A and B are shown apart, each in its own frame.
Chain A
């Protein structure tokens, strides 16, 4: 005899349980946590290096890449703590991978932890890692239609970084259009224009992170 069983369970529930645990742990440690999502080559690692030069060991980075320790090494050299997750072929980080990476990272005295997700604008956006906000990064060399093409990410991002703005004279990127499109998907989004090469926009970004952290700690 056939019988129907109501299930109504999310396929992501096992991830979400671990994400909640990560979030509790981050809160206990007084850490502001960013889940940074972008396409490969948007300049995530350069931004993290610039942050590391300003924050030193108060910055921690978990970086996900298919292979190699290259990014973690670059970030450590710039002064921050960093841990690489080699993901094999996975296209997004999960809360479990982040939990495992935390075991190899000393959180004491750390203020901001950036989880550098795998270069991909699609699936990383739908996995909660326990972060405070998702940060979408888009370089002006990629084209201004990205927010419209990948709305899943941009409706969830608390902040958007438009990177490599020093290239603007050489590319057809309409900053106003990209920003309007981002705000149409989520008007609460904070938008930053940065150039790591010219050291532009980084101070405003650092101020924003400090404010976010104070807000989180209730100070």
Chain B
């Protein structure tokens, strides 16, 4: 399952960022077109964290909406993925936000 390898990547980043300190909380931002299923990711994280000897860690998630950059220059958050650019009515755009899964911050005990 896809989310297990993603969970492993998240835990690697967390471990590196914590530099040996005890991790209490992980805050993640999940993009709306990141291809990540939140429930599956949380399930996978629970196991990967346990295997990495990180217990009693709270995982907090926040959704990141999609942002498009239109060819006309306009940056916009579409109502739906098939909504046109509000400025020029076009559909020529690329995803500038919402395509990623980000480890925003962690909380450690000192």
A residues sitting closer than 8 Å to B (CB atoms) are 1-15, 89-92, 94, 122-123, 125-126, 148, 151-152, 155-156, 181, 183-188
User: Beyond A122-B35, A126-B35, is A7–B81 a contact (Cβ under 8 Å)?
Assistant: no
Query: How far apart sit A126 and B32, CA to CA, in the bound complex (Å)?
Result: 12
Contacts of B49 in A (CB 8 A): none
Tell whether B69 is near chain A: CB-to-CB under 8 Å.
Answer: no
Task: Give CA–CA (A187, B5) in the complex, Å.
Answer: 33
Q: Are A7 and B104 in contact (CB under 8 A)?
A: yes
A185 surroundings in chain B (CB, below 8 A): 81-82, 91
Q: Which residues of chain B come closer than 8 Å to A90, judged between CB atoms? A: 5
CB of B12 within 8 A of chain A? Answer: yes
CB-nearest residue of chain A to B71 = A188
From residue 41 to 97 of chain B, which have CB atoms closer than 8 A to chain A?
71, 81-82, 84, 90-93, 95
Contacts of B5 in A (CB 8 A): 90, 94
B17–A151 CB distance below 8 A: no
For residue B2, give the distance in angstroms from its CB to the closest CB of chain A.
Answer: 4
Chain A residues with CB under 8 Å of B91's CB are: 183-187
Mostly helix, strand, loop or mixed at chain A's interface?
mixed
Contacts of B82 in A (CB 8 A): 148, 151, 181, 184-185
Shortest Cβ gap from B10 to chain A (Å):
5
Are B12 and A14 within 8 A (Cβ)? yes
Within 8 Å CB of A188, what residues of B? Answer: 71, 92
Asked whether B35 lies within 8 Å of A5 as measured between CB atoms, the reply is no
The answer to whether A7 and B92 touch (CB under 8 A), given A148-B82, A151-B33, A185-B81, is no
Complex Cα gap A53–B54 (Å): 54
| A34–B17 CA distance with the chains assembled, in angstroms | 35
Q: What is the minimal beta-carbon distance from A200 to any residue of chain B, in angstroms?
A: 27
Within 8 Å CB of A91, what residues of B?
1-2
Q: What separation, in Å, do the CA atoms of A37 and B9 have in the docked complex?
A: 23
Find residues 1-42 in chain B having any chain A CB closer than 8 Å to their own CB: 1-2, 5-6, 9-10, 12-14, 17-18, 24, 33-35
Those 6 A-B pairs whose CB atoms lie nearest each other, nearest first: A187-B91, A126-B35, A11-B101, A151-B81, A184-B82, A123-B2
With contacts A5-B105, A7-B105, A10-B100 known, is A155 near B6, CB below 8 A? no
CA distance A186 to B95 in the complex (A): 10
Given the complex, which residues of A lie within 8 Å of B109, measured CB to CB? 1-3
Residue of B nearest to A148 (CB): B82
Interchain residue pairs with CB less than 8 A apart (6): A4-B106, A5-B17, A7-B17, A123-B2, A152-B33, A184-B84
Given contacts A7-B103, A7-B105, A11-B6, 12 further A-B contacts (CB under 8 A): A3-B109, A3-B110, A5-B105, A8-B102, A9-B17, A12-B9, A126-B99, A152-B33, A183-B91, A184-B91, A185-B82, A188-B71
